Structure 1
Amino acid sequence: MHAVSRNEMVVMVTGAAGNLGAAVVKELASNGARVVSVERNLGADIAPAGCSDGELLEIGGIDLADLTACQDAVRRTLDAFGRIDALVNTVGGFRTGPVQESGFDQWDQMFQMNARTAYAISAAVLKPMQEVTYGRIVHIAAAPGLKAGANQAAYAASKGAVIRLTEAIAAENRDKRITANCILPGTIDTPQNRAAMPNAKTGSWVQPADIAKLIGFLISPAGGIVTGAAIPATGPV
């Protein structure tokens, strides 16, 4: 049996240079976790202030749509820390457009960025988790994955695939003490969203740090009571 306290965890965070990924890295590192920061862009700044080299492994240049690249990131994590207790996958993309003959590129792009990446990194981390019968997996999905609106076909379908993937992982691995959940955020308060929607009322937007705290619970030992869930995180009330 494999048991680990929250402040001893080894957690892989993908998209670590993004707004949400960086918040997750900061939250976990501040609680003593050893963090593996995975980022597609080489040279991205993904080390939070005050995090020592022995607590953080930075892996750049990883395309999560490539299974071999995901397997390499897992191997490097195991070489450095000996195990992977949790995966937090924040990688994804957003595009909108109507269903039309010219929309196939967008359909393929959304499934590549959202669904394929989630599948590939999940498959790569599951093997070492299954070997020790312990693990936590959290993906970022979206509310349109439950019900699409106009101009959301490709995006919603790809995020719906992430939700179904999460449910399947949870069902397949419950007896191995591996949980899988996904979060459905509302509009996240980021500089990019503020620039794109300058007239929006931001009071109900979700702070990346708050989502990071929710993720912190889901990957903790206490979070083992939740699996197979799509959890809305739509902002303060």
Structure 2
Amino acid sequence: MVTGAAGNLGRAVVATLAGRDICLVCVDRSSEELEAFARTLPPKARVLTFAGADLSDPIVAQAMVEAAVDRFGRVDAMVNTIGGFATGPVTTHALAQWDMMMTLNARVALVTSVAVLPVMQAASYGRIVHIAAVPGLKAGAHQAAYAASKAAVIRLTESIAAEHRNDGITANCILPGTIDTPQNRAAMPDAKTTAWVSSSSIAQLIAFLISPAAAVVTGGAIPATGLA
């Protein structure tokens, strides 16, 4: 299960997994973008799309999991790529940004985890991967809301890992560097893009973390910031 499947990182994760004989549940809020992306996948790929999903809503998240179980019988892994980025100073106007970041980053991570964990517990197997960020470890100026929301993702991941060590379930989060996307290039035209990280390289890391081979890795906040 990949949430945010029509986004830059979500697309890379799905594309990486599509050629590995894996049943895919592709979830996104945008019906049009998700369906268009699904049509680009290999014809032999076994894909269920779940579109129009506001995964800050527990009812929607539960419906997503039920649809996956109805189609494929279980959910072995969930990769949650949904998130947002906004910056601004700590002023009287910061509350709206705080609420937005906490919803997009922290609440969605919690709601999706709560929805999928019972199915994984019943199977005594599961892999959960969320996307955090380096500012979740230490915030800079104008990063209060964003950094706090990503710190919440890290702490949530650690708690899930600790609670389910004996259930065959792992939980990890990725701390990417700046991801090389069209949006980031447009927003930072003068940046040194050679130091940026590709979506496909992060997708390869995620593919390992959701594999049986990664059973010994849990509770991690794993940097993926590149070499440059």
Task: Tell me the TM-score normalised to structure 1 length.
Answer: 0.93
Runs of 4+ in 1 over 4 A off after TM superposition: none
CA contact (8 A) 1:145 1:158 kept: yes
Give 1:46 deviation, angstroms.
Answer: 2.9
CA contact (8 A) 1:187 1:205 kept: yes
Give 1:48 deviation, angstroms.
Answer: 6.1
Answer yes or no: is 1:134 the counterpart of 2:114.
Answer: no
Answer yes or no: is 1:161 the counterpart of 2:152.
Answer: yes
CA separation of 1:142 and 1:162: change in aligned 2, threshold 3 A: same
Aligned-pair identity (%): 61
2:42 and 2:22 mapped to 1: Cα distance?
A: 10
Answer yes or no: is 1:224 the counterpart of 2:215.
Answer: yes
Work out which of the residue numbers 13, 16, 29 in structure 2 matches 1:27.
16
CA contact (8 A) 1:14 1:39 kept: yes
Answer yes or no: is 1:55 the counterpart of 2:46.
Answer: yes
Work out which of the residue numbers 205, 208, 226 in structure 1 matches 2:199.
208
Task: Tell me the TM-score normalised to structure 2 length.
Answer: 0.97
2:95 and 2:44 mapped to 1: Cα distance?
A: 44
Partner residue in 2 for 1:102: 93
Alignment of 1:32-111 (within 5 A): 32-44=21-33, 45-47=36-38, 49-52=40-43, 55-111=46-102
Aligned pair count reads: 226
Answer yes or no: is 1:179 the counterpart of 2:174.
Answer: no
Partner residue in 2 for 1:116: 107
Partner residue in 1 for 2:4: 15
Partner residue in 2 for 1:3: none
Give 1:53 deviation, angstroms.
Answer: 6.8
CA contact (8 A) 2:19 2:45 kept: no
> Structure 1: 5+ residue runs without aligned partners?
1-11
2:166 partner SS: helix
CA contact (8 A) 1:142 1:184 kept: yes
CA contact (8 A) 1:179 1:228 kept: yes
CA contact (8 A) 1:84 1:135 kept: yes
CA contact (8 A) 1:205 1:236 kept: no
The one-letter code of the counterpart of 2:53 is I
1:21 and 1:128 mapped to 2: Cα distance?
A: 22
CA contact (8 A) 1:37 1:46 kept: no
